[in-house]
Structure 1
Amino acid sequence: MRVPILIVGTLTLLAACGTTPENRYYTLSVEPAATSAAPPPRTGRITIAKLLLPGVTDREQMVVATGPQTVDIREFDRWAEPLDQLVPRILAQDLALRAGGPTSNLPERRLFVSVDRFSVDAMGSSQLTGRWWMLEPGETAAQRRERPFALSRPAGARDGVQVAAAMSALLSMLADDVARE
């Protein structure tokens, strides 16, 4: 009689330990321009031709840097869509907010962005670093003028909502930088 009770108790305990937390899903959001100054002159449409993300960031889980060579991959805090699709889409929408009106009949410029770091660290600071360049109609890659960027912002608490908000703000800051050019 004691053996079946012991087995049932053990199985119940194992079943309780086997439950996993539910995934939480996050997305990035479009942010207004940092300044409320007059919109820049309309010089053409900007199309994001290519945006490269570092492999450590380009994953479905949120990543928090815990040290110079260490990261925490948050298994249950996940992006609602792949970052290699989400980041260019949000950046394009941020840029459209800064375009200064309809640009459909103006020449198209191609934006290239190479991101070296796009993360939040364990201390609550978010960083977006890399370089971008724009090619005007008729220009080739050999004519590119790279512009480095190093953007940072406090991330507040490091839960998923604050991480997504800080990363959204960094993309907005990058859009401000590109629009100024």
Structure 2
Amino acid sequence: MLLLDDSQVCSSDSLLELGCAVNSSGDSWGQTPAHLAACGGQAFCLLWLLQTGADANHQDSAGETPFHKAARVGSLECLSALVACDAQLDVCNNDGKTAEDLAWHYGFTECGRFLSTLRLTHHRKACLGVHEEGAFGVRPDSCTITGQKRARISPDAQDGKKSRDW
């Protein structure tokens, strides 16, 4: 089993020596090397794994992706690497929590803000019809934000004033 912590350096040589396949789950929790790199805050290792074919959206036995692991430890660098490799933002773990939920829960406000901004940005793009198939799991049919009202200017407005239909 490959263990990554702050004192270890992840390199292609060490992974190959250990015989780790980038998507193998070598432990009883179903965690891949990408999960372990994200959990250890090893952004360069994670990026290497993703570039060599690691699945950014693989869920372990707790339903967590490497995105969840990076958010759980507050690694903005790992979150950024996962975003660059099209990790799905809205995947929930077995407890119904997204990576954003975990970042806020564990007090990583910078990561929470980053993930919140991503969620809102991608939500707005989807509402505007700028949808990339499969990216971040955004569905263009889910464009209602709670409390949001959309004004419609009526063509029948009288006296040259715009009437709004809420």
* TM more than 0.5: no
| Pairwise TM-score range, normalised by the shorter structure | under 0.3
How does the TM-score come out when normalised to structure 1? 0.19
More helix by share: 2
More strand by share: 1
How does the TM-score come out when normalised to structure 2? 0.20
